Amino acid sequence: MTALLVALGGALGSALRYALGQRYDDRWHHGTLAANTVASLLLGACAGWALHGSALALIGTGFCGGLSTYSSLMVQSRDLGPARGAAYLVGTIALGLGAATLGFTLAG
């Protein structure tokens, strides 16, 4: 049952990330950046709410994990070149940490 919820959340999150990327990734990867930031905000909130069991499997492990991506962040950063790639990386990490902190604080 838990595995099914992870799969369902992962499917929804991944499809949403793909849609955001197709729509908003251009010279800057705004779509992927938004997906990673929103997923970090929501996962921080999951920690603040102390979600566990089925809810954590669906929303945290499944949806947030599927919505966010580390592999694309790495490949996109490489392709942007040293200066813009570094800016994209640092920006994504700072926004992700800020979003997780905000989500945790608001939910706690």
Say if residues 68 and 35 touch (Cβ distance below 8 Å). yes
Measured from the CB atom, the residue of 22 and 83 that comes closer to another protein is: 22
Measured from the CB atom, the residue of 25 and 84 that comes closer to another protein is: 25
Q: Is 65 annotated as a binding residue?
A: yes
Q: How far is the CB of 56 from another protein (least distance, A)?
A: 11
Q: Which two tokens stand for residue 87?
A: 């800016």
Q: Name the site residues for another protein (rule: CB under 8 A).
A: 2-3, 6-15, 17-19, 21-22, 25, 31-32, 36, 39-40, 42-44, 46-47, 57, 61-62, 64-79, 89, 92-93, 96-97, 99-101, 104
Q: Is 89 exposed, middle or buried (0-12, 13-18, 19+ CB in 10 A)?
A: middle
Q: Is 60 annotated as a binding residue?
A: no
Q: How far is the CB of 83 from another protein (least distance, A)?
A: 14
> How many other β-carbons are positioned within 10 Å of the β-carbon of residue 83?
8
Q: Which two tokens stand for residue 36?
A: 């990673």
Phi, psi of 103, rounded to the nearest 5 degrees: -60, -45
Annotated binding site for Na(+): 65, 68
Annotated binding site: 65, 68
